[in-house]
Structure 1
Amino acid sequence: MKDIFTGELVRLSAFDPEELAKAYTDWTRDSELQRLFDAGASALHSAKAGRDFFEKMLKEENPVNHFFSIRKLDDNRLLGDINLDVINEWGSRDAFVGLGIGDRNDWGKGYGTDAMKIMLRFAFTELNLRRVTLTVFEYNPRAIRSYEKVGFHHEGRLRKILLRDGKRWDMLYMGILAEEWKEINHG
């Protein structure tokens, strides 16, 4: 049986606050990356502030929320992170997923797509979830294409919710159901 946390290009590993804080300090120097990760204003962060943030997040971690580092399969290099926040474990069995590849030199190489495939496999086979949802801003077409590739469907749009560079942008809601994922992967 294949390791569920390993894909074709990347693997998911335990979330190390110290390592991730150092990487985020480097990654957040890129304001374009920050704008793709978050709707907030771009800011520079120290390694200590990053470490404190990640340690606090892990201490408060709800057992139904899952945080992973994304590592390149061939050299184990840290590429980014992915998280799955289960909203309703026993009722609707829904979760939100978030993903980021930190270094722009690693964008467009399929690492994020592969990481999302792994996370969906984990969500639907290990956690037995019914639905996984995400949000993405319309100014991130690379991410939108990646999500569509793994089976996410457009489900909604918050029109003109974000003002950035003098222009209003929509936030898209995308989702995938367990049966859709199974059809794609076991069809």
Structure 2
Amino acid sequence: MLFESSRIVFKKMTSDHTELYHTWRNDIGIMQSTSPFLDVYHLEETREFIDHVILGSPSSKSYIIVEKESDTPIGIISLINIDYKNRNAECIIDIGDKNYWGKGYGTEALKLLLDYAFLEMNLNRVSLRVFSFNKNAIKLYEKVGFKHEGNSRQSLFREGAWHDIIHMGILQNEYLQA
């Protein structure tokens, strides 16, 4: 199966995942390093976001990352802003269960998603944005083969300081040669 590795499997995100995603979305410790907005959301706001933005968009594909042995949902991974004509998309990954942080699940999930993007969808380019203070994520993206493409300087204000948003990308031929 394309969406499966030795430790994880992707399951298509559905509205049944609303409460789980709501828990992750309202955990400031998780969102601190991945979301530009540190708001607390009501369940109905999360439901609307999932129904209209995640599931209702023809230009996105979202999956719940599930640890196979325990059948535990541990995060979400998405391709968004898919541009079929120009063969590119943006990816987002959040490991929502902190018990799985730092154990290689993000790397494994990102490789599965890139396999799908480049080998099945035949995309030419996948990009992402990461906050400059999120050193672990930057290291992960570089390890998988993403290249730094630029910065949006001082675009994020966190904990009393300005931070850059780093733009990274990987091309199909770079990924296949790695």
Q: How many residues align?
A: 178
Shift of the alpha carbon at 1:114? 0.7
8 Å CA contact 1:18, 1:51 repeated in 2 = no
CA distance in 2, matches of 1:95, 1:29: 26
Q: Spell out structure 1 runs of 4+ moving beyond 6 A.
A: none
Structure 1 spans left out of the alignment, 5+ residues: none
8 Å CA contact 1:158, 1:171 repeated in 2 = yes
Equivalent residue number for residue 163 of structure 1? 157
Equivalent residue number for residue 57 of structure 1? 53
8 Å CA contact 2:130, 2:165 repeated in 1 = yes
8 Å CA contact 2:154, 2:165 repeated in 1 = yes
User: Deviation digits for residues 35-93 of structure 1, max 9, x if unmatched?
Assistant: 222101331433x432232122355220x421111111212211111111244212x21
Match of 2:107 among 91, 109, 113: 113
8 Å CA contact 1:9, 1:110 repeated in 2 = no
TM-score, structure 2 as length reference: 0.92
Match of 2:27 among 23, 30, 44: 30
Aligned with 1:37: secondary structure? coil
List aligned pairs for 1:69-108, cutoff 5 A: 69-90=64-85, 92-108=86-102
CA distance in 2, matches of 1:27, 1:58: 15
Structure 2 spans left out of the alignment, 5+ residues: none
User: Deviation digits for residues 141-187 of structure 1, max 9, x if unmatched?
Assistant: 11111111111111111111111111000100111000011011xxx
Shift of the alpha carbon at 1:112? 1.1
The CA RMSD over aligned residues, in Å, is: 1.6
Paired amino acid for 2:45: A
CA distance in 1, matches of 2:38, 2:26: 13
CA distance in 1, matches of 2:170, 2:19: 33
Residues 117/59 of structure 1: CA separation in 2 closer, same or farther (3 Å cut): closer
List aligned pairs for 1:140-179, cutoff 5 A: 140-179=134-173
